[in-house]
Amino acid sequence: MASEHRLTISTDAHGHTAGWAEAELEAALTVDVDKSAAAFFDIDNTMLQGASIYWIARGLAARRYFTTSDLARFAWQQARFRLLAAEHAGDMSQAKKVALAFIEGWRVDDIERLTEEIFDELMAPRIFAGTRSLAQLHLDSGERVWLVSAAPVEIGRVIAQRLGLTGAIGTVAEVIDGAYTGRLVGDLMHGPAKADAITQLANVEGLDLRRCTAYSDSINDLPMLSAVGTAVAVNADSGLRREAREQGWEMRDFRTGRKAARVAVPSTLAAGLLAGAVTTVLAMRRRRRGL
């Protein structure tokens, strides 16, 4: 016997079908999606308290990939680069030579697995709730949201996945047969390179940068902020605060008092952090070889 399919229609006390009311409500809540608009968020000190690569180093140290003394040396390198008043061409050139060399020979899938674990343990609790909410507003309006960082793109990709964002733009390391060679593909994703990257992405994705929004904490992200129609300074450093006032840009600060002073590490010095990471991990490898 063939099964019988019946359509049940609910009615209210006046005999009106409930389906009509639901359709009207759904239509009222429908958001007009602007496919030409998107948002771009810096990571370090904008989306995340501190530097993402530092937290990765902390997590690797906890897993005995290198020692506490290595981590202390890494922190010293971090402070050294933080004290630089400006980034000179020579500094960036040197950083480019050594950036990502510390993962030479590592498997990409191992780095991604470790990054996922470390994000859940150390980085997730340090995501700024306010910045995360701003990203969600863009997502809820139907816009796509990308993270843009000088950190390795694998780190940005994991953070984007964990936060439910569209994707990430970051520094790209050369990979052969699933392993890192220790060389970069192109330049560090820093300063003008960020603006170039989002411009290229806009061309591919059909975005109108005049309808896009960018968020950052650092004056060194001025090229990216200037490339879009709406710029927002988040947890801004002094240089960006001055620029934001002059340009009339919106400013948001999700830090609080002593915590803000303690965790702030300029995101634009991520290249320096990468250089510091090289020192720590290479030292670890030398010890292992000695053993």
| Catalytic residue positions, numbered | 42, 44
Amino acid identity, position 167: G
Collapsed DSSP state (helix, strand, coil) of residue 38: strand
Tokens of 106: 């590592």
Helix (H, G, I), strand (E, B) or coil at 230: strand
DSSP structure string for 84-101: -SS--HHHHHHHHHHTTG
Answer yes or no: are the C-beta atoms of 266 and 218 closer than 8 Å: yes
Instruction: Assess contact for 169 and 149: CB atoms under 8 A.
Output: yes
Q: How far is CA 95 from CA 74, 270, 286, in A?
A: 14, 9, 21
Tokens of 16: 């009106």
